[in-house]
């Protein structure tokens, strides 16, 4: 039966691509693993290889065609022993989304009536990208990358017994390496089992534990919302992470001096007491103003470039966390930020914040330093394009001017939405933050 070759997805978010070049022509025989075409995305050109053996019966989308939709039929493969002419005649035509350039007249002349029983099935594919987005067809074939097949062959492992963890269950190099480790440890790779969904059902989870060995605590609305939002974020937002170490010796000295000079109320209590986190909020706000292309939110229709730095601050509370927002933080004094955060934290733990006080914002800060955590990464909370994870301040040995000294160091990690912020731009933002936090007087300039 003829098999449709579909436009493959080269990334999870790819919707269209350019068919740059055909490396096979009509009438050419191909076997599994043969490179048959080159596909261009906005960032790379990738080769597409055949999965099935047969003969190229008809090319429906000519090379040079732009904006071919994923899953559009680009060619038809006649299987072994099939009549190539018949497969060509029954070829499905690409839809109107196949590209900006029209196909040749001979392709346009393909029959418009419903295909005969021997026409290719739309749910089959005879091609897969040599890269991270192979597409399976659900008909029992073992889909794997060329590198994985070579590694498995060299190791003497039957590839059909390896469980694939790549997109759509494709077997990739790391799966083979894991199988090799199992063989070394005396545990042969088990035959593939159906993939477990990212979230197992209640029944599947409970079946793993002895009845009576646990208590079930129902989720409240906050925990469900946190789970939904962060799952959606990590699945749909391409995160990357930038870590830098900051010497906060000057900051600690300035904080001590400012707190000592704080005015007192009638009861002789200081009107404010600055925390390190107050400086971090201010530094992040000013850094975004100095790097306005990072003070953004991604939307499909365009980039939102914000005028002010509205900094959300993660506050732990029973059953979860919430992120109240310091609006226009770049315009506020450290004492004002400190006072606002104390009020937010108290009302957050009492669940008395108003929606407008925790919804929106342009970035966020998550500080686990008070728990002794030296380094971690945080999940972006859309519509933010960044979040800063702050570790503990600790004394470390550093080299200054060729001499070993003791310094108060703090590691911070910036998570960035790669759709909105590229690596170099994110590096500029975290570099500016480092300058400000190491020289707090610069926040006032």
Q: Over the stretch 229-270, which tens digit does the pLDDT of each residue have? A: 888 899 899 999 999 999 999 999 999 999 999 999 888 899
User: CB of 122 within 8 A of CB of 109?
Assistant: no
User: CB of 346 within 8 A of CB of 367?
Assistant: no
Closest to 74 measured CA to CA, from 154, 169, 148, 8: 8
pLDDT one-digit tens code per residue, 347-365: 988 888 888 898 899 999 9
pLDDT of residue 248: 97
The number of beta carbons lying within 10 Å of the beta carbon of residue 40 is 16
Band of residue 138 on the pLDDT scale cut at 50, 70, 90: very low
Domains of the chain: residue spans and CATH: 3-135 (2.40.50.100), 224-444 (3.30.559.10)
pTM: 0.57
Closest to 50 measured CA to CA, from 144, 109, 128: 128
Closest to 329 measured CA to CA, from 380, 284, 382, 383: 284
pLDDT of residue 434: 98
pLDDT of residue 161: 73
pLDDT one-digit tens code per residue, 287-323: 999 999 999 999 999 999 999 999 999 999 887 889 9
How far apart CA 252 and CA 268 sit, in angstroms, is: 24
User: CB of 427 within 8 A of CB of 294?
Assistant: no
How far apart CA 189 and CA 157 sit, in angstroms, is: 9
Strand pairing partners for 47? 38
Both structure tokens of 206: 């409970």
Identify the residue with better confidence: 414 or 32.
414
Quick one: CA dihedral 410, 416, 420, 423, positive or negative?
positive
pLDDT of residue 442: 92
User: CB of 380 within 8 A of CB of 420?
Assistant: no
- Look up residue 52 and give its DSSP letter: S
Helix then strand then coil, in percent of the chain rounded to 5, is 30, 25, 45
Name the catalytic one among 239, 308, 408, 418.
Answer: 418
Average pLDDT, the chain: 81
Q: Is the pLDDT of residue 170 over 80?
A: no
418 carries an active-site annotation: yes
How far apart CA 108 and CA 110 sit, in angstroms, is: 6
Preceding peptide of 19 cis, ω within 30°: no
Quick one: CA dihedral 362, 371, 257, 339, positive or negative?
positive
Quick one: CA dihedral 94, 96, 100, 101, positive or negative?
positive
Residue corresponding to tokens 């939102």 = 304
Identify the residue with better confidence: 134 or 24.
24
Number of residues in the chain: 445
């Amino acid at each position: 039966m003829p098999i449709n070759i579909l436009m493959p997805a080269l990334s999870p978010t790819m919707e269209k691509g350019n068919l740059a070049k055909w490396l096979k022509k009509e009438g050419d025989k191909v076997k599994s693993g043969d490179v048959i075409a080159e596909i261009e995305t906005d960032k790379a050109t990738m080769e597409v290889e055949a999965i099935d053996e047969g003969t190229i019966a008809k090319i429906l989308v000519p090379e040079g065609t732009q904006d071919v939709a994923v899953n559009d039929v680009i060619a038809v493969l006649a299987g072994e022993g099939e009549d190539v002419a018949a497969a060509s005649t029954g070829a499905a035509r690409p839809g109107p989304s196949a590209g900006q350039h029209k196909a040749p007249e001979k392709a346009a002349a393909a029959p418009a009536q419903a295909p005969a029983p021997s026409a290719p099935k739309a749910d089959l594919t005879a091609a897969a990208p040599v890269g991270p987005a192979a597409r399976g067809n659900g008909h029992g074939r073992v889909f794997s990358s060329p590198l994985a097949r070579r590694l498995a062959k060299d190791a003497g492992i039957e590839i059909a017994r390896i469980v694939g963890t790549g997109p759509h269950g494709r077997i990739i190099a790391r799966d083979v390496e894991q199988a090799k480790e199992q063989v070394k440890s005396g545990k042969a790779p088990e035959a593939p089992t159906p993939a477990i969904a990212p979230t197992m059902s209640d029944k599947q989870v409970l079946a793993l534990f002895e009845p009576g060995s646990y208590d079930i605590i129902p989720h409240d609305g906050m925990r469900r919302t946190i789970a939904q939002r962060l799952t959606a974020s990590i699945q749909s937002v391409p995160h990357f992470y930038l870590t830098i170490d900051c010497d906060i010796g000057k900051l600690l000295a300035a904080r001590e001096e400012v707190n000592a000079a704080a005015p007192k109320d009638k009861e002789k209590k200081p009107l404010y007491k600055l925390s390190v986190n107050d400086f971090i909020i201010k530094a992040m706000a000013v850094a975004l103003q100095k790097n306005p292309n990072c003070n953004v939110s991604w939307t499909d229709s365009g980039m939102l470039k914000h005028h002010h730095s509205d900094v959300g601050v993660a506050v732990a509370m029973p059953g979860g966390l919430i992120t109240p927002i310091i609006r226009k933080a770049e315009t506020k004094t450290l004492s004002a930020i400190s006072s606002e955060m104390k009020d937010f934290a108290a009302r957050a733990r009492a669940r008395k914040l108003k929606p407008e006080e925790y919804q929106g914002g342009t970035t966020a800060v998550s500080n686990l330093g008070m728990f002794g955590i030296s380094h971690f990464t945080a999940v972006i909370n859309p519509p933010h394009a960044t979040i800063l994870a702050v570790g503990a301040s600790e004394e470390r040995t550093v080299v200054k001017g060729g001499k070993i000294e003791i310094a108060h160091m703090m590691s911070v990690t910036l998570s960035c939405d790669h759709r909105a912020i590229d690596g170099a731009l994110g590096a500029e933002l975290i570099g500016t933050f480092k300058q400000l936090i190491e020289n707090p007087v610069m926040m006032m300039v």
